[in-house]
């Protein structure tokens, strides 16, 4: 990680936002350093988009403050906006303008010098694999290409902070890989990236994560330490009938939670040394036969479910 670790690119303090009687965001605090990829993770309705919009200065908070590179977003919105780039969840570029025209337009809005704009747009178009589509109308691009174009327009100036709201939703794997390659490159240049995602695999690629639920941050740390914070030990049991297995195991003594993971289930237990033999006996009694029970590395999803759903909900 480059830069001074004390330096803060984004500082959020006591952020709250209500829509009518719904508390969309409640007393959220976090800070993002240059070179961080900070992930806001949570289910739909957790408040991810509302937080991103307030960071971008397009929605005003009811309480709390946001500083981007030391500039208060509410007090000096235009100054703050010069330092950040925002990619909304819904494609926000002009579909009736070509790729090149969109890039030109956003370059001009950020007053990027002409030579710099040309050089950067060439570089970014190549990195995104979009050189051949410069003259195509943005509306005629595929979903993945649209998102990459969004990223190019966001990066045509040099932002200190990049805000991406669910940037890879509906994006094919190849485009997603291109996308992340660009993000890692930016990270090395010291750009602070804040992204929201509902994809757990994507969450694992972040340097720091905030787990959001009903507008509150439940946990905020590096992915590794978040995993350590999971109560209990995770076991994986493979089976041809994972649903059936789960029904048998859920709620048994020492079982803290279960989670379906395709052809296996994740079982969270308090004491593996004692519970593994117990589970094997239980499964044998139910006629499932001897199952292979192994310890598993928890993923972010396991932690999430452990923290939020007590493991019993699907």
Residue 13 vs 79, nearer CB to other proteins: 79
118 part of the interface to other proteins, by CB under 8 A: no
Instruction: Describe the crossing of helices 143-155 and 99-109 by its angle, rounded to 10 degrees.
Output: 30
44 part of the interface to other proteins, by CB under 8 A: no
Residue ranges in 162-181 that form contacts with other proteins under rule CB under 8 A: 163
- Give the nearest distance from C-beta 111 to other proteins in angstroms: 6
142 part of the interface to other proteins, by CB under 8 A: no
Residue 145 vs 203, nearer CB to other proteins: 145
Find where tokens 């490159």 sit. 185
Residue 108 vs 185, nearer CB to other proteins: 108
**Cβ–Cβ contacts within 10 Å for residue 124, how many?**
21
Contacts of 292 (CB under 8 A, 6+ apart): 237, 238
Paired tokens of 25:
């965001």
129 part of the interface to other proteins, by CB under 8 A: no
72 part of the interface to other proteins, by CB under 8 A: no
8 Å CB contact between 279 and 292: no
Handedness of CA 194, 200, 202, 206 (dihedral sign): positive
Residue 34 vs 107, nearer CB to other proteins: 107
Contacts of 264 (CB under 8 A, 6+ apart): 236, 237, 238, 239, 242
Cβ density class 250-281: b for 16+ within 10 Å, e for less = eeeeebbbbbebeebbbbbbeebeebbeebbe
Binding other proteins (rule: CB under 8 A), the pick from 30, 110, 180, 199 is 110
- How far is the C-alpha of 65 from the C-alpha of 15, rounded, in Å? 6
Binding other proteins (rule: CB under 8 A), the pick from 7, 29, 63, 108 is 108
297 part of the interface to other proteins, by CB under 8 A: no
Binding other proteins (rule: CB under 8 A), the pick from 6, 20, 21, 90 is 90
Binding other proteins (rule: CB under 8 A), the pick from 38, 106, 179, 304 is 106
Contact map string, positions 227 to 246, toward other proteins, x by CB under 8 A: --------------------
- Give the nearest distance from C-beta 57 to other proteins in angstroms: 7
Binding other proteins (rule: CB under 8 A), the pick from 59, 100, 250, 261 is 59
70 part of the interface to other proteins, by CB under 8 A: no
Residue 157 vs 268, nearer CB to other proteins: 157
94 part of the interface to other proteins, by CB under 8 A: yes
- Nearest by Cα to 153 from 77, 68, 95, 66: 95
Binding other proteins (rule: CB under 8 A), the pick from 64, 88, 167, 215 is 88
8 Å CB contact between 194 and 10: yes
Residue 118 vs 250, nearer CB to other proteins: 118
Spell out the SS3 assignment of 101-155: HHHHHHHHHCCCCHHHHHHHHHHHHHHHCCHHHCCCEHHHCCHHHHHHHHHHHHH
- How far is the C-alpha of 84 from the C-alpha of 97, rounded, in Å? 23
Give the count of residues interacting with other proteins (CB under 8 A): 35
The most distant pair of C-alpha atoms in the chain lies apart, rounded to whole Å, by 74
40 part of the interface to other proteins, by CB under 8 A: no
The residues binding other proteins (CB under 8 A) are: 53, 56-60, 77-79, 81-82, 84-88, 90-97, 101, 104-106, 108-111, 150, 153, 163
């Amino acid at each position: 990680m480059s830069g001074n670790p004390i330096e803060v690119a984004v500082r959020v303090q006591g952020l709250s936002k209500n829509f009518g009687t719904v508390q969309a965001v409640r007393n959220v605090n976090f800070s993002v350093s240059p070179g961080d990829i900070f992930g806001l993770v949570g289910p739909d309705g957790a408040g991810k988009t509302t937080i991103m919009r307030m960071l971008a200065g397009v929605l005003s908070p009811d309480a709390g403050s946001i500083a981007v590179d030391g500039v208060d977003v509410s007090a000096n919105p235009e100054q703050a906006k010069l330092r950040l780039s925002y990619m909304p969840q819904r494609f926000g570029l002009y579909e009736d303008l070509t790729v090149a025209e969109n890039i030109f337009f956003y370059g001009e809005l950020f007053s990027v010098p002409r030579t710099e704009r040309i050089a950067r747009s060439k570089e970014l178009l190549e990195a995104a694999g979009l050189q051949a589509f410069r003259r195509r109308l943005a509306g005629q691009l595929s979903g993945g290409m649209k998102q990459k174009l969004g990223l190019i327009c966001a990066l045509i100036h040099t932002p200190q902070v990049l805000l991406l709201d669910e940037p890879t939703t509906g994006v094919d794997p190849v485009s997603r890989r291109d996308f992340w390659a660009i993000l890692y490159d930016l990270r090395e240049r010291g750009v602070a990236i804040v992204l929201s995602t509902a994809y757990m695999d994507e969450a694992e690629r972040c340097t720091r994560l905030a787990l959001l639920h009903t507008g509150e941050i439940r946990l905020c740390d590096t992915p590794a330490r978040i995993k350590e914070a999971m109560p209990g030990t995770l076991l994986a049991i493979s089976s041809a009938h994972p649903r059936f297995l789960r029904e048998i195991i859920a709620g048994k003594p020492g079982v803290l939670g279960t989670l379906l993971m395709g052809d296996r289930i994740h079982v969270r237990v308090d004491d593996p040394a004692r519970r593994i033999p117990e589970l094997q006996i239980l499964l044998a009694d139910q006629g499932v036969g001897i199952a292979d029970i192994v310890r598993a590395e928890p993923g972010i999803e396991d932690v999430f479910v452990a923290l939020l759903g007590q493991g019993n909900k699907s």
